[in-house]
Amino acid sequence: MITCLNSSSRPWKNQRHSLISAGISTIGLTTVVSTAGCTKQFLPVFRECLLRRHCRFYSKANPCCSKFTHTLHSMLMSQSQSQMSYHLCSLVCPFDQCSRWRLRYHNLFNAMGHSAYAAMEKVGDPMLESGSPRTGWLPAGSGAATISNARAYNNNLIAQVLSGNGTPSRQGKPLEADLLLCSMKISSLGKLLRRALGSSILTCGLCTQFCYGNFSNLWVLLQNSGAQSIGVCYGLVADNLPSPSEVVDMYHDNGIISLRLYDPNPGALNSLRHSGINVALGVRNEDIQAIASSAAAADHWISLSVKPYASSVSIKYVTVGNEIIPGPLAQFVLPAMKNLHNSLMAAGLGIVGVTTVVSMPVLGNSYPPSQGTFSPDVVSVMASIVSLLNATGRPLLANVYPYFSYANDPVHIPLSYALFTSSAPVVHDGQFLYQNLFDAMVDALHAAMEKVGGAGVRVVVSESGWPSEGAGPATITNAETYNNNLIAHVLSGKGTPRRPRKPLEAFVFAMFNENLKPGGQPAVGVCYDTQADNLPPGKEVLPLFESSGITSVRRFRPDSQMLDALQYTRITVALGVDNSEVQLLGTSKEAASAWIYAHIQSYHRSVTIKYIIVGNELIPGPLSPYVLTAMENLDDMLSRHSINSISVTTTVLMDVLTYVYTPPSQAFFSSSSVDFMSSLLSFLDSRGYPLFVNVYPFLVYYATGKIPLPYAQFTSPVPVVTDGSFSYLNLLDQMVDSLYVAMEKVGQTNVTLAIAETGWPSAGVSGASVGDASIYNNNFVAHVLSSKGTPRRPNTPLEAFVYNMFNEDWRSGVFANFGLFYPDKNPVYPVQFDKAIAAMRLYEPNTDALTALKGSSIEVMLGVRNEDLASIAGSQSAADDWVHTNVAAYSDVKIKYITAGNEVIPCPNSQYVLPAMQK
């Protein structure tokens, strides 16, 4: 849109002609009418231009004068056109012209708007688009021109526009509005616009215009407006996300004006410059202790993460850690907050607030909300933090997930209560009535803070959301319902029952599904057992995980050394209960509570424990009766501690089936395991937990002597087993589908399978070699990461663990040689877990490399050496020999391209490239 700031029609027409001559028809032209000197003689010009060009009509009036509005009204009333839609800009006085419609007005904005619409309907054209009314309230001057009145007007206007109700005369019609602001000087406009408009104005996606004047209180007005807002968390735990600049564009395109970063990522922060997006900037958990212990460390963090961006990025909060209270780092949060606050003040950046992020387990009691109290182990820490927040006027940030509460107790919590769709209050808490779980959880935090002197501290919801896939209630429909209702609830301005009409801020989790986070994506981890006396310590193993792309680990039993090493890493853990402990945990709730306290409570804030695996291969067997009760006891203890992110399951062997190698359709559970498995699967189904199974194609291949090796190693080019409409290219899929069929035969179709162990030995028996192990494990990783699923469960993401991290000298027989690494940390063979190697370029034929690639799924680009081009170009027999030696001899290697030379053109040998390619 181009606006001509001149009342003459000539520039308007000339610019329009220039646009048309240039072939540009997508840019609209309009003009702005001012109060002074506006007479009837200009109206035909405006009318003709607007009607012919299908453009908008804007006006700009002195907020202190009503004369212009009456003049314009009378001018337009004298014309004969009809239904011209008009948005009045600076609204100044009401017109009582609406009695014949019998409309009632609750605010002056609507009444004044209808007055203008009534006039325009008599002179306009129905095809005209509508412009944006400019409005606002002076924060300084005389009389009613105060900051408090300006804040009230702007926030109420925002709520009016966002409601979508339109005006009494145009109900349900979308309304646009530009807030009229002022700046002291033009040079500060860009900075002011980007840094200040992230709160009350851009919160609602309103356009913002500036005019010149004396408005030195603009920053105070906007930063302290307290308007409700919705942001989105920007997680970076993925390797397939758009670039940061593309992400910022997505935030703008979707009207998102607040963003939470979990750590100071330079790429993200640079892309946020001059974006107008408010940022909650996180301090990594692992940095907190150093910052708490040293003011210099705090100064250094601010100098690196805030100062370089402060002039161009709207950093609203610095959040010290994420969900580390309770936990071993809880004691460092308050001193770290104080040091960072002091550093910001010293740097002249006191506008940036310092706070921390907690989760609901900080509460010892949350029901009913008025009884919300901090748990005994955190109350002193939280009381001190709340006191600091009260003194600095900053909110407490909290991650609030009704999803986890519902998923953990769907019997007592209605789904409608969790999704904001309940038609009536569900919880009656004295004078407070709760129609949704979100409000109840937030108010439980409010009540807890009030009990430690924090009645004036707000809660900002730093994370909330609903998963779109997974188990049970994790569906796209529920996620869409929850997130849309959450946004509408926050933007309604209703607040919560305990804090009515208090604006809320909330961040939806998350902008993207992150493929390196556990759940919802195919993932391959590694079993890390320690049945050896010559293995490296845990801290030395972590670099091996990182270099191999390993993001999940299965531990067969708790080990404090390893769990300590895994703290504050992004590695997901499946933590095992040793077989020797299962009977005790299955018969004693006290023992289960003690186990959770010792191995989970101390680590679940700092280690991403996803599963507790109760025993290994105990069904069928004498301990079978204790497996389910141990699972139930542990799951109950997790619930009591409000730990909802950990699933409890067990691992079975394929021996639970009558026959291991059989067409899947003929599979069923053995008589010794069917009862245990039926009860176990019912429990897993009720919780949405998976069943883990150990699947070893090698053992079947070795034991039967009848399985084709390519079928066992994922290299068969054609199906080997056909089972009705299902065809199998590899043995692993056949074995997994056999278990699925057996589960279906006992009425369980919802439980998903995860592979707890699989692998191939590199030595020990016939068929066990480094080459065979490399082929199997690399092809297995590629198969899982392809997300193809199995023939009976196509496109179903699979979680799996390769056995084993190290060769172990305490193991007997072939199982001592399943390791990916030797104890000295050298690889037995390379495997990349985060992404399968799909293609490889060899610059020249290499016999060892080509031999190792036999039977693999890796496509090869095979190079001809530059020095061989001349001979191949000059002789067909030389070309034939090259192909026979380097290609035909490796028919089971997927050679996709032959590259004739490397960077030969331009070069003296350029003349040989084309004839060499032809031959």
The set of catalytic residues is 323, 463
Cβ atoms within 10 Å, residue 70: 13
Termini Cα distance of the chain: 61
Burial of 689 (0-12, 13-18, 19+ CB in 10 A): buried
Beta carbons of 838 and 760 less than 8 angstroms apart? no
Cβ atoms within 10 Å, residue 597: 12
Cβ-based neighbours of 4, under 8 Å, separated by 6 or more? 11, 12, 15, 29, 30, 31
Write b or e for each residue in 341-357: b if 16 or more Cβ atoms lie within 10 A of its Cβ, otherwise e. Answer: bebbeeeeeebbbbbbb
Single-letter code of the amino acid located at 106:
H
Question: Tokens for 789?
Answer: 């699923």
Distance of alpha carbon 301 from alpha carbon 305, whole angstroms: 6
Distance of alpha carbon 504 from alpha carbon 493, whole angstroms: 7
Angle made by CA atoms 299, 382, 327, in degrees to the nearest 5: 80
Cβ-based neighbours of 130, under 8 Å, separated by 6 or more? 56, 85, 86, 87, 176
Distance of alpha carbon 97 from alpha carbon 114, whole angstroms: 9
The secondary structure of 380-391, three-state, reads: HHHHHHHHHHHH
Phi-psi region for residue 54, left (φ > 0), alpha (ψ -120 to 50) or beta?
left
| H-helix segments, 572-623 | 579-587, 589-596
Please give the helix or strand (H or E) that residue 318 lies within, else none.
strand 314-322
Distance of alpha carbon 426 from alpha carbon 437, whole angstroms: 9
Single-letter code of the amino acid located at 477:
T
Identify the three-state secondary structure at position 899: strand
DSSP string, 184-223: S-GGGHHHHHHHHTTTTTGGGT--EEEEES--TTHHHHHH
Give 584's DSSP letter.
Answer: H
Half-sphere exposure (Cβ direction) of 177: Cα atoms closer than 13 Å = 30
Beta carbons of 848 and 829 less than 8 angstroms apart? no
Query: What residues does 554 pair with on adjacent strands?
Result: 527, 574
How far from the centroid of its chain's Cα atoms is residue 552's Cα? Answer: 19
Beta carbons of 458 and 476 less than 8 angstroms apart? no
